[in-house]
């Protein structure tokens, strides 16, 4: 696991409609080296789904709901952390990732459809993963992969109950 601490802040989540997408955001963060996700909404379904994956697949990714985004950002910055907001309006990933990479604590804000205008000013970096509309899930994935230079693809998750044995064709797992 990297020495860098990266945590996601998911904002604009609407409990019914966004449960699946927000769960994918959290799982993508976990698989690609983030330490956890703050959810600026109340949704125990998301918290449970992610805890369930962590229990079976290992690691110690956390998911906390009912987080207030303004104080979360403020505290993060007060503790010396940097704030990156993923938005299609920002500077293109390959142009800024080199400047972000040396930072030790990074809060990654992942918005749903509407994001309060204030977020743009509060963030140290507004980063676009292409200036095209696609998905906050793919944006987060590419941001983390470029941040960690692809090394996160070989992360291990200690304490797993189940582990996949990579294979050319078919499904092979080992459990305990």
Alpha-carbon span 80 to 11, nearest angstrom: 21
11, 30, 81, 103: which one binds its own copies (CB under 8 A): 30
Task: Out of 7, 8, 11, 32, name the contact with its own copies by CB under 8 A.
Answer: 32
Q: Binder to its own copies among 80, 158, 166, 175 (CB under 8 A)?
A: 166
Least separation in angstroms between residue 142's CB and its own copies is: 6
Minimum CB distance to its own copies smaller for 24 or for 103? 24
Q: What is the DSSP string of 39-86?
A: ESS--HHHHHHHHHHHHHH-S--EEE-S--HHHHHHHHHHTT-EEEEE
Q: Residue 88, interface with its own copies (CB under 8 A)?
A: yes
Neighbouring C-beta atoms of residue 152, cutoff 10 Å = 17
CA 167 to CA 147: how far, in whole Å? 28
98 binds its own copies (CB under 8 A): no
Query: Closest Cα partner for 7 from 30, 23, 24?
Result: 30
Residue 31 engages its own copies in binding (rule: CB under 8 A): yes
CB count within 10 Å of CB 136 equals: 23
Q: Are strands 173-175 and 162-164 parallel, antiparallel or unpaired?
A: antiparallel
Is position 82 an interface residue for its own copies (rule: CB under 8 A)? Answer: no
Min. distance of Cβ 153 from its own copies in angstroms? Answer: 5
**DSSP-based three-state secondary structure for 11:** strand
62 sits near its own copies (criterion: CB under 8 A): no
Binding of its own copies by 114 (CB under 8 A): no
Asked if residue 142 binds its own copies (CB under 8 A), the reply is yes
Q: Enter the tokens of residue 24.
A: 């994918």
> In this chain, which stretch among 7-15, 35-43, 63-71, 90-98 interacts with its own copies, using CB under 8 A?
90-98
What is the binding site for its own copies (CB under 8 A)? Answer: 20-21, 24, 27-28, 30-32, 53, 57, 88-95, 120-121, 123, 126, 128-135, 137-138, 140-142, 145-146, 150, 152-155, 157, 163-164, 166-173
């Amino acid at each position: 696991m990297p020495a860098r601490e990266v945590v996601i802040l998911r904002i604009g989540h609407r409990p019914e409609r966004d449960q699946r997408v927000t769960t994918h955001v959290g799982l993508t963060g976990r698989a690609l080296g983030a330490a956890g996700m703050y959810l600026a909404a109340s949704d125990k379904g998301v918290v449970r789904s992610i805890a369930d994956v962590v229990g079976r697949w290992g690691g110690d990714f956390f998911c906390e709901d009912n987080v207030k985004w303004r104080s979360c950002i403020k505290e993060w910055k007060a503790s010396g952390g940097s704030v990156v907001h993923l938005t299609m309006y920002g500077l293109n990933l390959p142009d800024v990732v080199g400047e972000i990479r040396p930072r030790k604590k990074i809060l990654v804000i992942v918005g749903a459809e509407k994001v309060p205008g204030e977020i743009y000013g509060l963030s140290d970096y507004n980063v676009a993963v292409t200036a095209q509309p696609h998905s906050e899930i793919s944006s987060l994935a590419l941001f983390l992969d470029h941040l960690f230079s692809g090394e996160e693809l070989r992360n291990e998750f200690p304490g797993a109950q189940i582990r996949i044995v990579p294979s050319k064709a078919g499904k092979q797992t080992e459990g305990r």
